[in-house]
Amino acid sequence: MINIDVAMGLVRVTEAAALKGAKLMGRGDKSAADQAAVDGMESAFAMMPIRGTVVIGEGEMDEAPMLYIGQKVGSWEENMPEMDVAVDPVDGTVLIAKGLPNSIAVVAMGPKGSLLHAPDMYMKKIAVGAGAKGAIDINKSPKENITNVAKALNKDITELTIIVQERERHNYIVEQAREVGARVKLFGEGDVAAILACGFENTGIDLMIGTGGAPEGVIAAAAIKCMGGEMQAKLEPHTQEEIDRCKSMGIEDVDKVLTIDDLVNNEDVYFAATALTDSDLLKGVVFNRDNTATTHSVVMRSKTGTIRFVEAIHRLDITNLV
């Protein structure tokens, strides 16, 4: 049975990653920042009362020494629940290396078999918060989706804000958004943070459309599910090798529209995030003069709909930051 210790334990995991990774903000070395966050996250996982298996992580065992796909995490004590774990110690490694906003540490978790084992390839995504649930269709044009979301939210299109990653492949989305008069917010990296922002009205973000990493899509779907929103996705394999990889992971129909229940097929999943740098939703890590640091996090559970914002002050002279 999952308890509050597990939910708050997830926050400690993302906090540990953010505290370690944020020390390298603006140093220009994204690999070092990512590795520091991985170190922090793995150490914190050792204290989690779960029998967890990483299903989305830093890569295959031969590519990543820690938090690799298939790695066992948690205390693995008897009678602890078996859980799928999806991690991204730094969503936005370029951002933390440059000291830019929207770099966050994220974890999604659910009962064994609940998270889609997404291959590392591109995925087309569209996401909205609870207020526009039922208004999106990934097979429709951006223009149609923007119009339908505006109607669902009872907003004039000129008041609707769509968030899009600034990439050439997304030019058509930006063009159609501008044609109908919607507001467009561009971001450089970190589409988990962008999708997360859709679920909270106070961020001012109403809709996310774009193509990014498939593993990040599953993590973001866990957050949207916890918030009662909606997300749809389609894998976009570009080579026969990628098609074969999809099938080896149990995805026979690579053209299938993946609903949020395909991405996260359980009603009791968890999501936690801690900001390394300021995001639309959370304030980044602040290192204080008294050898402490302040973190801002969010943790959610889909079964109860509970969303907790956690502000924590950490003593940095304590070896165990969790």
DSSP for 212-270? EEHHHHHHHHHHHHHTT-EEEEEE---SHHHHHHHHHTT---TTPPBPHHHHB--S--E
* Cβ atoms within 10 Å, residue 241: 9
For the chain, the residue count is: 322
Q: How many degrees, rounded to 5, is the angle at CA 238 between CA 232 and CA 240?
A: 115
Question: What is the three-class DSSP state of 29?
Answer: coil
Annotated binding site: 34, 58, 88, 91, 216
- Tracing tokens 């074969």 back to the chain, one arrives at 244
**DSSP H or E segment with residue 10:** helix 4-22
Annotated binding site for Mn(2+): 34, 58, 88, 91, 216
How far, in Å, are 206, 246, 247, 262 from residue 250 at the CA level?
33, 7, 5, 12
